[in-house]
Amino acid sequence: GSKIGAQALHSIIAESKPWSGAPSSGDREEASDLAAIEQARRIGLRKPDYSQVYVNRGADLIRQGKFAQAIELSREAIRLDPGSFEGLNNLGNALLASGQADEAILHLRKAIEIAPRYAIAHANLGAALTAVGDLQQGMKHYCQAVQLNPNLMRALDPSTRRAVAESCRAGM
């Protein structure tokens, strides 16, 4: 198939700036999540450029499969900094993982509009576009991603990797 696998999405996400805090478990994890959200809100109220706290934590939550929470933090990052292409990328990833590919596409396109050379957003837009059946445009964005960062090819599942390689050779 031409769809990117969930594990590949997580690998692509891992290429973004990760949250530096150590993961916790059980009730401590939930308390840690809530404390991090509250701390980010307090910092964000004082200094809007701390939207990166929300971006980093959102990426961490995506890796943990906590997409609803990641969506909330990504939206907050974008509220604090509408030009946060990383926040837009995270929001797009979390929405795509939540089955909201159409909305994901909007946010990923905006991320690319802000940062045209952001390879990860191109790869994620490729995934979103293929998820809605637009294989041609999806492959075009995958090819752009791999041209910008050849290491992203390793993050793709084998069937997607083959499709992307063929599309790129064909000049997409």
pLDDT in tens, 46-72: 555 578 999 999 999 999 999 999 999
The candidate with the shortest Cα–Cα distance to 154, out of 165, 140, 141, is 165
pLDDT tens digits, 13-22: 334 333 223 3
**Terminus-to-terminus CA distance in the chain, angstroms?**
18
Single-letter amino acid, residue 82: P
SS3 string of 19-42?
Answer: CCCCCCCHHHHHHHHHHHHHHHHH
* Residue where the block lists tokens 């929300």: 54
pLDDT on residue 50 = 79
Q: Mean pLDDT, to the nearest integer, of 94-106? A: 97
